[in-house]
Every structure is written in C-alpha cells, then in structure tokens.
Amino acid sequence: MENKLKLAKEKLIVALDVDTGEAALDLVKKLSTQVGMFKVGMQLFYQAGPDIVKRLKEAGVRVFLDLKLHDIPNTVAQAARGLTALGADIINVHAAGGTAMMRAAAEAVREQAAALGRPAPRVIAVTVLTSIDPTAFQYELGFTCDIQRKVADWALLTRQAGLDGVVASPREIAVIRRACGEDFLIITPGIRPAWSVAGDQKRIMTPAAALGQGAGYLVVGRPITGQADPAAAAQKIITELAEVL
C-alpha cells in the first residue's frame, strides 16, 4: 500500500489559486510532503509576478505553469522561452491556436532549455475548458460537433504538432486515448471528490474515476485549498487514488 500511496501522491497537482506569493508558499509548506506538483495559474502569476515560480522551485517543488498561451506563433514562442527560463516543469498553450503556434512553442521551449543546459519542460495544450457545458459549446462558441469530438480532434492536432499532451476534462480521457495512444499525457482539471461541491466546473469526475479512465495527472484546487485542513483533504484524495492503483 505504501508504494501505491507514493504513486498516488505523484499524480496529484494542487492548484495554488491564491492572491499572494506568501499564501502560495504557505500552502506548499502544508502540502509539499503529500503532493507531487503545484499549479500556478493566472490568478497567482499576474498578482505575484514571475518571481513566484522561482520561489517555488527554490522550495524544491515541481511547477505546472498554467498560463494558456494563445497568440500568433512568434509571440507564443518568445513567451514560452521566458517561461522555460523561469524553471517551470510543465507549460501550456491553447490548442485552438493551431498547429503552427503549438509547434513554435514546443521548438522554442526545447531550444531554450538546451541553451540553459537543463531538461525541457513538458508542453501541453488546453482543449475545451471544463467550465464549458454542451449548450455554451454549441450556442455560444458556435461549434456544430459535440465536445468529445472537438477535444479528440484538438488532441490529435496537439500530438502532430510535437507537444507532450493535453489538458482536458476527465469526461474526454477515453476518446483522447483512442486518438492519441497510451503514451500521450493527459492532465485533468474538473476533479471533484464526492464530498466536495462542483463550483463553476461543469464536466467533472471524482479522483478515482478519472484515474481509472487513464488520467496522467489530476488537478485539484478548492476541494483541498478551500478546506480548514488542506493536508487532511489532500490525504483523503491520495488514499482514494491509491485504492484504484
């Protein structure tokens, strides 16, 4: 069971959706022995600045830098170089930016990492945000296919562009696996334990169910960080994951 708990820990990414570097580092102090990686998103990065990534790396933790780059290829490539220099372990772009943009990001990351003499961060693409439900997808965003079909198409495009994987709802894991194979990385937000509330997430799944579907990493935020005892909440999720490994 000990080995399963260790593996479960490595699959858990905690979202540091807080406003200050001090709050983020406090959570890391409470959770670093139980969590394999921490996610820095727009909320923290834009308020604490790029230095928060360096501070987290100095604290000895792995960082998923979730800024969802989406612009013309040259702009995204130059931004990706900067994020690589910060020391992030995973960075992401939007698959909707297209093949040229994604390929430019991946090439820039690998070139910058080689120049710095360090391992390249993994580059992944966001497919359809987990806050989007089928009604918004079709009637607001204007897609005529269903969400699963579009996610599978974007995942395949991502693989063809040379990226390492995607961010997608756990509801789409199976179709991504069929399209892209078992070695393609899938990171799943929209993870909600049965004992938590869904919040603004629409396409959700429990941790054990997502892992059973084939997720590589699970991103969990408020069900852990919003609890009075974040470490206890994280341990509860890790124990649930270990039971299905």
Residue 26 assigned as binding residue: no
- Residue type present at position 30: K
The angle subtended at Cα 179 by Cα 174 and Cα 182, nearest 5°, is 70
Residue 200 assigned as binding residue: no
Residue 222 assigned as binding residue: yes
* 89 labelled catalytic: no
Residue 21 assigned as binding residue: no
Query: DSSP string covering 148-170, please?
Result: HHHHHHHHHHHHHTT--EEE--G
Q: Are 128 and 168 in contact (CB under 8 A)?
A: yes
Residue 127 assigned as binding residue: no
Per DSSP, 200 falls in state T
* 68 labelled catalytic: yes
Choice among 68, 89, 153, 236 that is catalytic: 68
Residue 13 assigned as binding residue: no
Residue 67 assigned as binding residue: yes
Residue 202 assigned as binding residue: no
**How remote is the C-alpha of 156 from its chain's centroid?**
18
Distance CA 29, CA 223 (A): 18
Choice among 26, 71, 89, 153 that is catalytic: 71
Residue 72 assigned as binding residue: yes
| Token pair 């960075």 in the structure block, residue | 91
Q: Which two tokens stand for residue 156?
A: 């395949």
| Count of positions (residues) in the chain | 245
Residue 71 assigned as binding residue: yes
- How many of the other CB atoms lie within 10 Å of CB of 188? 30
* 66 labelled catalytic: yes
Choice among 9, 66, 164, 202 that is catalytic: 66
Pairing of strands 63-69, 217-220: unpaired
Residue 153 assigned as binding residue: no
> Which residues contribute to the annotated binding site?
17, 39, 66-75, 130, 192, 201, 221-222
> Which residues contribute to the annotated binding site for substrate?
17, 39, 66-75, 130, 192, 201, 221-222
Which residues are annotated as catalytic?
66, 68, 71
